Amino acid sequence: MKTMKVALAGAGAFGIKHLDGIKNIEGVKVVSLISRDLDETREIAAKYGIGHVTTELSDSLALKEVGAVILCTPTQMHASQTLACLRAGKHVQVEIPLCDVLTDGEEVAQVAERSGLVAMCGHTRRFNPSHQYVHKKIVAGKFNIQQMDVQTYFFRRSNMNALGQPRSWTDHLLWHHAAHTVDLFAYQCGSPIVKANAVQGPIHPTLGIAMDMSIQLKAANGAICTLSLSFNNDGPLGTIFRYIGDSATYLARYDDLFNGKEEKIDVSNVAVSMNGIELQDREFFAAIREGREPNSSVASVLPCYRVLHEMELQLAG
């Protein structure tokens, strides 16, 4: 197997998760690391045996050996950097969200289609073993969603990342964290979203974003979803997905799954790994090798961003 050589942009908390996942994938090597602090980036590169370090994506795109790029950079850079990768002839996986302006995402989808390259967005919930288990039950006709009840909670009253370090950008409940659930709901239902309502709490005086939000969704097949999001929650953090169906209730917490009685379900045989990020990366590299569209391709996730755009207009009104 010929080694696939990859560049990774963004050596923060999520970039490191990708580096850890890629270590387990045969035939793939990260050869270039891009991040804003050169000294810190060199330290991380040395730890993972990465030879090329830079603060500029364009430097990595100029390397002929690089065939694919993974972008774990700030939200506001995602669309423009994805376009730069595609125009440089590189396959690209961009972390969620694809964009925070719908027209930017639509441009990426158009350029990706014309390029013939693999363009994928990191909608990790499609890959977590917990959600894959539920998806397989749905596909087999053994479970149908009546309602999804989702809580996405963080304590983030200052602009810090998952490692407790200052962020260079501002996160967003709608365009980032809601994107996970909006996409997953439609994906799991196998039915497009036909109704979406959103309300938000007060705008933070310095961050300039809503710290609390509530979203209601309805799919064409009749299933509904209620999503609560907060950056104000000083308690258990992360996202809990409750699937209420016609034959069972499931609770998904990242890669782990429980039934409605909080009994753990063994999902170790669902996929080759128990790490959703690693499984996401495996899909990206497999799609490149096989010359096919990946699960969570830019084209397949674009409807999610259209729904987010509709809700942003609602909130602005």
* One-character DSSP codes across the chain: -PPEEEEEE--SHHHHHHHHHHTTSTTEEEEEEE-S-HHHHHHHHHHHT--EEES-HHHHHT-TT--EEEE---GGGHHHHHHHHHHTT-EEEEESPS-SSHHHHHHHHHHHHHHTS-EEEE-GGGTSHHHHHHHHHHHTTS--EEEEEEEEE-B-SSSB-TTS-B-SS---IIIIIIHHHHHHHHHHHTS-EEEEEEEE-PBPTTT-SBSEEEEEEEETTS-EEEEEEESB--SS-EEEEEEEESS-EEEEETTEEEETTSPEE--TTSSS-S-HHHHHHHHHHHHHHHTSPPTTBHHHHHHHHHHHHHHHHHHH-
Q: What is the pLDDT of residues 243-268, one digit of tens each?
A: 999 999 999 999 999 999 999 999 99
How much of the chain exceeds pLDDT 90, in percent?
90
Query: Residues 66, 54: contact at Cβ < 8 Å?
Result: no
Q: What is the pLDDT of residues 93-149, one digit of tens each?
A: 999 999 999 999 999 999 999 999 999 999 999 999 999 999 999 999 999 999 999
Is the pLDDT assigned to residue 164 strictly greater than 60?
A: yes
Structure confidence at residue 162 (pLDDT): 58
Average pLDDT over residues 290-311: 98
Structure confidence at residue 158 (pLDDT): 66
The Cα 127–Cα 88 span in angstroms is 28
Average pLDDT over residues 184-209: 95
Domains of the chain: 4-123+276-296 (3.40.50.720), 128-270 (3.30.360.10)
Average pLDDT over residues 147-165: 79
C-alpha 117 chain-centroid distance: 19
On whether the pTM is more than 0.85, the answer is yes
The Cα 109–Cα 119 span in angstroms is 8
The Cα 135–Cα 296 span in angstroms is 14
Q: What is the pLDDT of residues 52-80, one digit of tens each?
A: 999 999 999 999 999 999 999 999 999 99
Q: What does each C-alpha distance from 224 to 64, 167, 195 come to in angstroms?
A: 48, 34, 9
Structure confidence at residue 163 (pLDDT): 59
Structure confidence at residue 261 (pLDDT): 97
Q: What is the pLDDT of residues 10-58, one digit of tens each?
A: 999 899 999 999 999 999 999 999 999 999 999 999 999 999 999 999 9
The residue type found at 241 is: F
Structure confidence at residue 139 (pLDDT): 97
The Cα 247–Cα 251 span in angstroms is 14
The Cα 237–Cα 220 span in angstroms is 31
Q: Is 180 left (phi over 0), alpha (psi -120 to 50) or beta?
A: alpha
